[in-house]
Amino acid sequence: MSRTVAGHDEQRRWRTRLAGVLAVLAAVAAAPPAWAAPDYSLAGTNYAGTQIARHEGIQGSPRDDVVGQTLGHDVSGHQGAVDWAAAAGAGAKFAYVKATEGTGFVNPQFGQQYDGAHAAGIIRGAYHFARPDVSGGAEQAEYFIANGGGWRADGTTLPGALDIEYNPYGDVCYGKNPADLTAWIADFTRTYLAKVKRSALIYTSTAWWKRCTGNTARFGNTDPLWLARYGPDVGELPAGWDKHSIWQFARGGSLPGDQNYYNGPLARVQSLAKG
């Protein structure tokens, strides 16, 4: 073989190797980096029930003849600064305020809303918008507690609530199967109980619970239910619960934010606050 032919063969081999290296580099450049920050672009507009309303819609007009229930509401940064004196004057007896989402977002209005409700004589609590797609349940419970989601034995603070609903950023079940998602919720509630010495409420809808947890009955005896359903009645409850504690019945009304009924008189709300 001549030196010329051998030289051409060597050049071809190097060109082939170079093409392979360039292809690998192009693939790496096109792939999202493993360290990419989680998406919190919707966190300011995510609040309890936004995705439930989107996926399930309104099931009819809420009843205006409900008796034996206590009126309350829930708010988030979406409402901005709340006029709490006006809310109290309109009949609000309790309120839940969004504190956190995942492990990367804190409601910028939390102080005004949470402390303002207390100053107006409204029994208040905080809730966490779950993001099982970005970090573990225990980690999110600790983040929630560290950013306003704890509980105090002052008789006017409700235990924290876990808002677990349709994922606004992608797959409605956060890319998890029912067993893994149930385990995530258990990690959150177990950690909250261990740190705060109170059981967290679970906020959800029956349809989402069936679809994404397989309708597990695991939490019915440990965590009070805050159910979302926008219609004339509460409807079917998720497995494990024989009653609900709070019903989020409408997206708007006489109070800022979403409208809720506590399932019983004010004394029941006060009992939950006192533990």
**Which contacts qualify for 90-93: CB closer than 8 Å, 24 or more apart?**
90/254, 90/255, 91/254, 91/255, 92/122, 92/255, 93/122, 93/123, 93/262, 93/266, 93/269
Distance (Å, rounded) from C-alpha 122 to C-alpha 224?
20
Cite the active site residues: 74, 163, 165
Strand-pairing partners, residue 161, are 127, 201
Bridge pairing between strands 201-204 and 258-262: unpaired
- Cβ–Cβ < 8 Å for 188, 213: no
- Cβ–Cβ < 8 Å for 221, 240: yes
C-alpha dihedral sign at 164, 119, 244, 189: positive
- Cβ–Cβ < 8 Å for 204, 228: yes
In the chain, the amino acid numbered 11 is Q
